[in-house]
Chains A and B, each alone.
Chain A
Amino acid sequence: MKRILLALLSGILFGLGLSLSQMVNPDKVLGFLDIAGNWDPSLAFVMIGALAVTFVSFRWVLKRPGPLLDDGFHVSRRREIDKPLLLGAGLFGIGWGMTGYCPGPAVAGLGLGTLEALVMVASIYAGFFAQKWFADRK
């Protein structure tokens, strides 16, 4: 129960952060990616603000023997740079540039009641399932 409430609280903070920073505003996102046009560098500061916190806090948290409400940390230890990583990131970037949405703002956008967010969440899930189907066939 505590884990669920904590996840809810963490999600709310994340959603507030995405809204205040305007990551949920696709015009703002496309303005950030449009370096050849009327470039708006604001969203670089979202990453700076987030990393300023996580750079320090993750180091401190991961020194602990474990998290407070679970048996261990669920952190990826993968190191390899492979084709799926780069191809997948490239496809994601293309989709991001076509829409102005990455996954977090698509979900948060549901709270703003836009049709766009609904279309995004549905098509992101379609992409998830298609990728799984593709990977399972190999």
Chain B
Amino acid sequence: MENFSPVSALTGGALIGISATLLLLFNGRMAGISGIMNGVFNSPRSETIWRLAFLAGLVIGAFLFNLIAPGFFTMRQGYPLGLLAAGGFLVGFGTRMSNGCTSGHGICGLANLSPRSLLATLTFMAGGIVTVYLIRHALELTV
């Protein structure tokens, strides 16, 4: 528990909530990142540009944060790239299959009391917990 940081997590979460509110209030869109990423390649041109702008905003937001508060956290080094690539593929495949990820189902869908999103959120949480248990404790692959 020595890394427990509830205040910055709550505040960061609130920023995400405000971001999702703005996108819905002004543009009528859900801030579901996997859907926005996918839509960049599967939409008419007029629908592509706001998605690219949103994704660019994500990059700029993280860049600005790192500029303002360098060293707020340290990124890990030397994580196996093969594991990342295989896992990333499953993240992409799975979020398309279930039409949403942590943001679309976990934040926007739950706020709309969508039973689909509740079930999806419980399922990917369980999937993540079981996978980390297997990797770290059953197979002892990484620390």
Report the Cα distance A110→B70, complex, angstroms: 15
User: In angstroms, how far is the closest chain B Cβ from the Cβ of A94?
Assistant: 5
A34 touches B136 (CB 8 A): yes
Interface size on B, residues (CB 8 A): 107
Determine which of A45, A89, A120, A131 lies in contact with B9 in the assembled complex, contact meaning CB atoms within 8 Å: A45
Q: Mark A1-45, 1 if CB is under 8 A from B, else 0.
A: 011111111111111111111111111101101111111111111
B1 touches A40 (CB 8 A): yes
A98 touches B87 (CB 8 A): yes
Report the Cα distance A110→B33, complex, angstroms: 14
CB-CB under 8 A from B110, the residues of chain A are 51, 54
Q: How many residue pairs, one in A and one in B, have C-beta atoms under 8 Å apart?
A: 490
Which residues on B are within 8 Å of A, measured CB to CB? 1-6, 8-31, 33-34, 37-38, 41-42, 49-51, 53-66, 72-73, 75-76, 79, 81, 83-99, 101-103, 105-112, 114-116, 119-121, 123-133, 135-137
Q: Contacts A61-B24, A91-B94, A94-B87 given: A52-B133 contact, CB under 8 Å?
A: no
Report the Cα distance A114→B73, complex, angstroms: 13
Determine which of A2, A91, A111 lies in contact with B127 in the assembled complex, contact meaning CB atoms within 8 Å: A91
13 A-B pairs in the complex with CB atoms less than 8 angstroms apart:
A3-B50, A50-B14, A51-B17, A62-B24, A70-B29, A89-B127, A90-B123, A92-B95, A93-B130, A97-B129, A123-B84, A125-B92, A126-B89
CB-CB under 8 A from A16, the residues of chain B are 12, 15, 61-62, 64-65
For the side of the interface on A, what is the size category? 35 or more
A67 touches B92 (CB 8 A): no
User: In angstroms, how far is the closest chain B Cβ from the Cβ of A134?
Assistant: 8
Report the Cα distance A45→B75, complex, angstroms: 21
Determine which of B16, B53, B85 lies in contact with A46 in the assembled complex, contact meaning CB atoms within 8 Å: B16
- A19 (CB) vs chain B CBs: closest residue: B65
Report the Cα distance A15→B75, complex, angstroms: 16
A81 touches B102 (CB 8 A): no
- B131 (CB) vs chain A CBs: closest residue: A97
Q: Contacts A9-B57, A49-B12, A103-B34 given: A25-B73 contact, CB under 8 Å?
A: yes
